[in-house]
């Protein structure tokens, strides 16, 4: 059973009772992320996520770590483009402690100057780790090419030069501006009573003053281009993407099916054609991230420099096939079953159920039951997938990013005849 209440200051509290679980997952979601940062603030949302665990007025960073470990729980956070989440998972008998700890780090963090400098070094190491991992870094490079100078194109972790220059005043100012009750959602899933949770949250978070502040976001434009970063890796890593759908699009279920057929599993077209039949790549998949007002559909692959042109040609060929010919009934059936199973299996985990509560509220302001979602999956038709393919998989929208041991001359030679809308990089 899912219930929703609103605290006096505007914080939304949602809960889902799972009677047979011994654990409770709690997440405080703040509707701010990297797309809300100005250019000179890039990385500040992620920086704040780190700093809130580095000490409060009454607890040191070590105290916070020991407190959650002492009850066998877990506590962490993550930052995205549109939200930041602070979450904990404990046995139901330690619910009071978990709520107190979350409230303390969110409301009473010290932002100690020494901790800021220490954590600045940690984050810079995290950025370097991503840049040293080509199958991660190529996605940041693709985002930058696809979204251009819009904040959506900036890395969530932040750029090195911006992280180094962020001052305590900027960090605290951003925190005070963005962490408002109207932008906060508390989601709870597990063996917990809603009224008890509401009492705990009301007491813990009542000191946050109400605010009518709203998020002012500009929808990004997309860019079609080829970009290359030459790097001495063993393989060329690539992302080839196109326009996608917003999170709330009524065609989102057709998009899920399209992504699954294209590269969403081991039976998908790209996996079977490029890995299984031709042996051109070990890793190849498609993915379709969605946001409040936009999204994209992209393919990732890693291949030898000598065969990367062939891999790109096969991906483009599959795009064209999806535009011009309907998917098979067997593919639709398998995709539906895969999507159903992924949903149902995810519900075995209280963390996933907590996140599902929050995302439904963030994007739809209502909760969709499992039966509603499965019904929408089952309603997707072959014609809907083909219509969507024809809208999205258009050459004028394509963006290709490559990272690896390839020169511009080699790129022009191997891909020049393939690329339908060549834009100089």
Segment 300-321 shows an average pLDDT of 96
* Section 403-412 average pLDDT: 94
The string of pLDDT tens digits covering residues 65-75 is 999 999 999 99
User: Are 2-205 and 226-415 the same fold in CATH?
Assistant: yes
Decide if pLDDT at 424 tops 60. no
344 pLDDT exceeds 70?
Answer: yes
Architecture of the domain defined by 2-205 = 2-Layer Sandwich (3.30)
Mean pLDDT for the stretch of residues 268-289: 98
Q: Where are the domains of the chain?
A: 2-205, 226-415
Q: Please give the model's pTM, rounded to 2 decimal places.
A: 0.95
Would you tell me how many other CB atoms lie within 10 Å of the CB of residue 113? 10
pLDDT computed for residue 425 by the predictor: 37
Residue 417 pLDDT level (bands cut at 50, 70, 90): confident
Report the top-level CATH class of 226-415.
alpha beta
Closest CA to 119 of 63, 53, 176: 53
Q: Tell me the angle at which helices 308-324 and 408-415 cross, rounded to the nearest 10 degrees.
A: 40
- What one-character DSSP code corresponds to residue 290? B
Q: What is the pLDDT of residues 217-226, one digit of tens each?
A: 999 999 999 9
Cβ–Cβ < 8 Å for 211, 10: yes
Is the per-residue pLDDT at 215 higher than 90? no
The per-residue pLDDT of the chain, averaged, comes to 95
Share of the chain above pLDDT 70, in %: 97
Cite the DSSP H helix spans in 108-251: 113-131, 134-147, 160-165, 168-178, 194-205
Q: For residue 297, is pLDDT > 70?
A: yes
Q: Output the pLDDT for position 210.
A: 76
pLDDT tens digits, 118-140:
999 999 999 999 999 999 999 99
How far lies 29's CA from each of 88, 139, 226, 285, 297, in Å?
Answer: 12, 24, 36, 29, 26
Lowest mean pLDDT among 107-121, 202-216, 301-315: 202-216
Q: Please, are residues 99 and 92 in contact by the beta-carbon 8 Å criterion? A: no
372 φ, ψ to 5°? -60, -45
pLDDT band, very low/low/confident/very high, at 216 (cuts 50, 70, 90): confident
pLDDT at 360 over 90: yes
Cα–Cα dist 133/237, whole Å: 10
For the stretch 32-46, pLDDT in tens is 999 999 999 999 999
pLDDT per residue over 141-182, tens digit each?
999 999 999 999 999 999 999 999 999 999 999 999 999 999
| Rounded distance between C-alpha atoms, residue 79 and residue 57, angstroms | 24
- Please classify residue 328 by burial: count the beta carbons closer than 10 Å to its beta carbon, then call 0-12 exposed, 13-18 middle and 19+ buried: exposed
pLDDT band at 213 (very low <50, low <70, confident <90, very high): low
Instruction: Report the DSSP beta bridge partners of residue 402.
Output: 228, 238
Q: Could you say which of 16, 41, 49, 361 is catalytic?
A: 49
Residue 76 clears pLDDT 80, i.e. is over it: yes
Query: Does the annotation count 304 as an active-site position?
Result: no
């Amino acid at each position: 059973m899912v219930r929703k209440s609103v605290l006096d200051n505007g914080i939304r509290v949602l809960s889902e009772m799972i009677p047979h679980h011994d654990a409770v997952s709690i997440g405080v979601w703040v509707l701010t992320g990297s797309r809300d940062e100005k250019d000179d603030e890039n990385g500040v949302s992620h920086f704040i996520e780190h700093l809130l665990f580095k000490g409060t007025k009454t607890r040191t960073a070590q105290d916070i770590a020991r407190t959650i470990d002492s009850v066998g729980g877990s506590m962490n956070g993550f930052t995205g483009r549109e939200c930041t989440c602070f979450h904990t998972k404990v046995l139901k008998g330690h619910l009071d402690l978990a709520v107190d700890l979350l409230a303390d780090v969110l409301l009473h963090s010290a932002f100690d100057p020494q901790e800021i400098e220490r954590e600045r070094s940690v984050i810079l190491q995290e950025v370097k780790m991503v840049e040293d991992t080509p199958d991660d870094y190529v996605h940041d490079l693709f985002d930058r090419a696809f979204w251009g100078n819009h904040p959506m194109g900036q890395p969530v972790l932040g750029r090195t030069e911006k992280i180094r220059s962020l001052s305590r005043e900027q960090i605290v100012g951003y925190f005070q501006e963005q962490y408002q009750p109207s932008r906060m959602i508390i989601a709870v899933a597990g063996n917990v009573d809603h009224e008890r949770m509401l009492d705990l949250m009301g007491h813990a978070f009542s000191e946050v003053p109400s605010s009518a502040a709203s998020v002012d976001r500009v929808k990004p434009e997309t860019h079609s281009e080829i970009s290359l970063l030459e790097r001495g890796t063993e393989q060329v890593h690539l992302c080839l993407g196109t326009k996608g759908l917003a999170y709330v699009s009524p065609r989102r279920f057709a998009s899920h099916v399209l992504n699954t057929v294209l590269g969403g599993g081991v039976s998908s077209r790209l996996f079977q054609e490029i890995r299984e039949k031709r042996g051109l790549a070990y890793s190849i998949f498609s993915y379709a991230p969605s946001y409040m007002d936009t999204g994209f559909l992209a393919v990732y692959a890693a291949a030898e420099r000598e065969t990367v042109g062939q891999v790109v040609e096969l991906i483009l060929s599959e795009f064209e096939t999806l535009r011009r010919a309907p998917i098979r009934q067997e593919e639709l059936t398998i995709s539906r079953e895969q999507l159903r199973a992924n949903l149902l299996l995810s519900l075995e985990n209280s963390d996933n159920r907590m996140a599902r509560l929050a995302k439904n509220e963030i994007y739809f302001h209502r909760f969709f039951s499992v039966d509603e979602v499965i019904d929408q999956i089952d309603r997707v038709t072959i014609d809907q997938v083909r219509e969507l393919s024809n809208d999205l998989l258009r050459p004028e929208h394509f963006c290709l990013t490559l990272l690896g041991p390839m020169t511009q001359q080699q790129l022009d030679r191997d891909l020049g005849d393939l690329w339908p809308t060549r834009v100089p990089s």
